[in-house]
Every structure is written in structure tokens, then in C-alpha cells.
Structure 1
């Protein structure tokens, strides 16, 4: 079967809510679940993450190479046994809201370390067992925000990909540099051919500096940038474009972009972040009320901006 006719990889998301105090048992369960899922036929990737730092709501995304492989995993005895183990850890009051659906990928409010590992031939079992151990350790580390594990996708790309997420760069660095992780890396070193890692951070990190809390969600960052950038561009069209009309389009565009970036970077984004900080990084207390109020506030500000420029232009 060639690439054009191969069925697309498919996945299922299991949404669960934990009981308070179940963090440590759930961390151990995650490592067992990861170990079992990665050995299943057709396994492609596993993504386990909370809704936000400190949340009891978690999603478990299980991706497989075909609908048939996914169905085999979904109905397997091993998976059923794992979820039976999980049952006492789940919040019975929230059971009605737990479900399983086709996954959707939403940007997480966190910083991610991408680790690519090439395992020595025949050592895959050793690597899986080691991955189970390190998963149990990192799941209990402060700021942990979930892990994605992806098996080699083809004969040409024989490396395992692991995405490790933490709330802040400082918390991620603390885990990456801790003695426990260094000891674990020394244990697995004889069984891997090579590995490398790199950091994935927010595209607007300079405008949303770390404050000891998690970074704002990517969509919130983009929404606030749009709120600030739109009036700058509209004012440039109204007042700057006529002044630059006689210049070459490349020069005029460069000047306009330079002014836009300067104004947005300082002071407009600093003011916007200060004013909307309660929504960008809401506390867990009454979080969803703040989220809804913030979204309505942003929508109202968009409407006000549009109304003003529709009247002026």
C-alpha cells in the first residue's frame, strides 16, 4: 500500500477528572499506561496532559496508524484493565462529564522540550521500560504538564520522539538538570545510539515574560497581539500611507512594519498585558468565570475598534 492510499492515522481522546490527592497514584498509572500503549500494534503517539497547571481535568490522546489499529487498542483487555485501575482515582461527581471523543489538538499553555532518541537495534524493550521509569519521576516534578511519546514513524526515521511539557522554562530546566534525571540518562546511555533535544517556546515569548506562573495560552497571546496591532495598522493606512505614496513599495512597507513592530513591542503590548493579566493567567479559583469574562471583554474591544474605524474611514 503506498502513501496516497494508506488510511490516515486516527486517535481517541479520553477526558478524565481526578479526585483530590490522587496525583501520585495517577503519575504511576501514567507510566504503566504509556508502557502498555507504546507496545500496542499500530501505535503512533500518546499525549497525556492536564487542562492547565494544577488541574484535576486531564486528557489522554491515543493515536494509531489506522482506524483498525485504534479499535484493536480501544477494545483490548490490557487497556480495559488499565482503566479499571484508574477508576478509583477518578472523581465520581464528575463522571458524567468524562468522555471519549475524536481528538482535537489545542495549544497548551506551557514550554516543551522535544527529545529525539535513536535506540540500538533489539533494545526497544529496554528503552520502553526505562521510559516508564522516567515518566513516573517527571510526572511528580513541580510544573509537569504532560508528555507525548511517538514511536518511529518509518524505516527511514528510526527515532522515538518525546515531548516533555512544563508550566515554565524554569521548572522545565529544573527537571532537565536534576540529579535523578541525570542518573536515569546514565542508565539508558548504553542502549541508545544517539539522541538530541531542543526547546519549543511561545512564539510571543518576549511580549509575555515569565512571572513564576505558566505562560498564557497561545490563542490568548495571538488574540491580544491582534487587538493591539489592528489599530496601529489602520492608523498607518490613514496617516502614514499618503506620506509614503511616492516611495518604492519595499521601502514604504519596511518603514510601516518597523513602526508597527516598535509601537506594538513598546509600549502597547506592555500596557495590554498589564490590563488583561487577570485573563491571560487566571488563577484556578473561579477560573472558568474569568475565562468567560475575559473572552467577552476581548470580543467587546474588537467590536469597539471596528466601530471606531468604520466611522472614521
Structure 2
């Protein structure tokens, strides 16, 4: 993981879609354990807030490479409630010195989360490019599901077979198709 530069804070659209908050922090050498305890504390506190969907903590790869904290919220209002909460302010008031420095922050909504690269200073691609990329990822998966999955689910009730198909396609989109398509189309997406 390379050292990142400060990013501009992205504005959260006023819609009801999920919001992912990605924060990069650089930790001064010797303060890693204190930072990790602080980060886990603030992440667990945020998890108790209404509309918080999950979090992640990614350790630095070493040297000056940053640590990443990730929060997922049900919508922009839930994200804003956390950002403006006294609980969050209390964690920042109790940072104990300069053991960490925020170097980047991105707020992502919708499909942007598939196209975001941690630490990148580039904005998300235009929505029309994201839609074309998603279609290119969905199409082969839909074909495969039609040939390989659907024939084995015909005996099941429609609601159950559709739920199974949706779950399989979602997993393949998230972990296989979208990472591959966004990597293949990287130059076009960022031009």
C-alpha cells in the first residue's frame, strides 16, 4: 500500500442509498498499538448507531503506508448523525497526542464503491461509465446463471429460486466480475 495524499472531502448526495466512508490515517512509529485500540473503539461505538451497517479496519502494510477505517451506513442521514455525534467528538477529544493523522477521506455512495481505489485522488467515474461497466459485468453472469444455475432451481418455488440466483450473482459481481471489469477498463473509466 503506497503513501497517499490528502483528498478533498466528497459531498454526500441527499438520497437514500448506502454510504461508505473510507478514511486513511498515518500512524507515527511506536504508536501502532494505541492507534489500533483507539480505532477499534471508535468503530465499535459507531456500530451501535442506528443505520450503521458495518465497518472494517485495515492495518498499514508498513512504513509510512496508511491504516484504513471503513464505515458503512444505511443512508446519508445515518452517516451525518454519526459524523455530528457527541460520541464521535468524544473519541477525537481523547486521541492522546499525535499518534495518528488523517491523510485522506472519501465518502462513496452507490456503485462508486466498486470503482474506488483506496488512497486515490481521482474522483469516481461518471455514472454513465459505471452503468456501462456494470452491464458488461452483469451480462456474462446472467448468461451463465441462465445456462448453469436456473435449470437446477426449477423445482423450487419462484421466490426461493430467485433469492438463490440473486445471492449467487451478487457474490460473483462483488468479488469477481466488477473487480475484473474495473481493472480491465481502468484507463477508460478514468479518462
TM-score, normalization by structure 1 = 0.31
Larger radius of gyration: 1
TM-score, normalization by structure 2 = 0.48
Larger relative contact order (CA 8 Å, sep ≥ 6): 2
